[in-house]
Amino acid sequence: MTSHENPPQQTNQFRSFTSKFKPLFILYSSSILILLLAISFTFTKTSFYKIPPFKSHFILHPPFFQSLLGFFHRTQKPNDPNLISKPSHCVLWMAPFLSGGGYSSESWSYILALKEYVKNPRFRLAIDQHGDLESLEFWEGLPQDVKKLAFELYNTECLMNETIVVCHSEPGAWYPPLFQTLPCPPTGYKDFKLVIGRTMFETDRVNLEHVKRCNRMDFVWVPTDFHVSTFVQSGVDPSKVVKIVQPIDVNFFDPLKYEPLDLASKGKLVLGTRETDSSAKEFVFLSVFKWEYRKGWDVLLKAYLEEFSNADGVALYLLTNAYHSDKNFGSKIDKFVRDSDMAKPVEGWAPIYVIDNHIAQLVLPRVYKAADAFVLSSRGEGWGRPLVEAMAMSLPVIATNWSGPTEYLTEENSYPLQVDRMSEVTEGPFKGHLWAEPSVDKLKTLMRQVTSNVGEANAKGRKAREDMIRRFSPELVAGIVRDHIYNFLDQEA
């Protein structure tokens, strides 16, 4: 997780806008708003129509859109029989639902699990965009049933004092936010029944500012035992820290449902040469990550290029995107190779392909299906969504055995990558924290092992899917979240 440690902006504006709903906190989208969105998709893509479908986006574009919102929306009275006939309690889940990335993916996984598997719930479920910039590409790539659910849940109406708020983001986005975003909780901590922070870190500790923010919450949900330990050791009140594992949609990520995507048609060859013999089957390594040092792309490239040559019949595909940098990944890789002490093999470099265009969520399982093994030599992960997605798709996975992934990596279901040492974060808001330095030599050994013993690798992949179903299926995790909420409601009764 990377924090945007900027001065708070527009906090008072947000507060004044949301406070007008007291004592009734209304979450809704109008038919006009849906119509505007539908019409916008028919125009050429310009900045004019990139108006996301939730009210928070209008708040970020004052004053016209605030006026529009206020003109078309109605306020429901507390004694409205349609509201009273429903469960009085509400769970408002605020997260980067429209942003893509790890927090977005996991927040959707919780919402979809709760919606499908909590029958006759004692609370209504509502959502709102919070915590990151919106991505129209991501929204357009969502399945239609998920889009429909988004509008349905955004339309949920909740009494403020009966609402449990889940702030699913990094603590810098929590009230008052350190950067421009819809605050969570929207009007501060005193107006709601319960406020829960759902977050994680990829280093060995939580910084002091974020510890303070965690301690303002009634509870802090973290996904792994690793985080329970690091949060408590950093100073977060142990009574507030609760482990709530992440769900993985094992029905969506099911290898039996998909045909492999033609990766060569999507990827750009940035190093090595393409196999000219179309009958030859390459062994495909896949890695999915945003382009930042934490993800250990340098470790992966060094291990892959030192271990394999063009004669080995392998290929490495990097599905990546820019993160506070440009998209010229080919030049970055070329410079990395030139600046290294690696000698070019006589047979030539083993090929590396980059896929840097957006892959819709609907297509993602086909990407995994096209690979023979998944590898991520990250220095630290909060959870590792691509890892569990690959494991649900029965792929053999090689991943750094530290931080979040220790919750699910085992010798039986994967290839845990040994850590050589801990190193210090040298820049950014978490400078001075520690994270892992995965072993290049061990990674070389594991990558060669996967290619040399395909039967063993496939068996680990099958076990990985079994473990995802057994431990992190949506039905199971929905029950964990439901029980935690119900326990609180029972105590309040």
At 65 the pLDDT is 26
Q: Is 60 exceeded by the pLDDT of residue 22?
A: no
Q: Do domains 11-247+475-492 and 255-472 have the same CATH topology?
A: yes
Residue 271: predicted pLDDT: 97
d(CA 5, CA 3): 6
Cα gap 465→462, rounded to integer Å: 5
**CA 129 to CA 235: how far, in whole Å?**
29
Estimate to the nearest angstrom the gap between the alpha carbon of 74 and the chain centroid.
34
| Average pLDDT estimate for 295-307 | 98
Phi, psi of 108, rounded to the nearest 5 degrees: -60, -35
Do the beta carbons of residue 129 and residue 167 sit within 8 Å?
no
Confidence of residue 39 (pLDDT cuts 50, 70, 90): very low
Q: Tokens 């494991």, residue?
A: 391
**Share of residues in the chain with pLDDT > 90 (%):** 73
Both tokens of 215, joined, read 């301690």
Q: Would you say 379 and 294 are in contact if contact means Cβ atoms under 8 Å apart?
A: yes
pLDDT in tens, 67-89: 322 323 323 344 455 545 678 89
Q: What's the CATH number for 255-472?
A: 3.40.50.2000
290's enclosing H/E stretch is strand 283-291
Judged against a pLDDT cut of 80, whether residue 45 lies above it is answered with no
pLDDT at 4 over 70: no
Q: What is the mean pLDDT of residues 310-338?
A: 91
pLDDT of residue 493: 73
Q: Where are the domains of the chain?
A: 11-247+475-492, 255-472
CATH of 11-247+475-492, one of 3.40.50, 3.90.25, 3.30.310, 3.30.499: 3.40.50
| Interval 265-283 mean pLDDT | 85
Contacts of 469 (CB under 8 A, 6+ apart): 250, 392
Q: How high is the mean pLDDT of the chain?
A: 85
- Give the residue-averaged pLDDT of 186-210: 96
Q: Give the tens place of pLDDT for each residue, 354-406.
A: 999 989 999 999 999 999 999 999 999 999 999 999 999 999 999 999 999 99
* pLDDT for the residue numbered 276: 65
How many percent of the chain have pLDDT more than 70? Answer: 81
Residue 127 token pair: 């959502």
Residue 274 pLDDT: 84
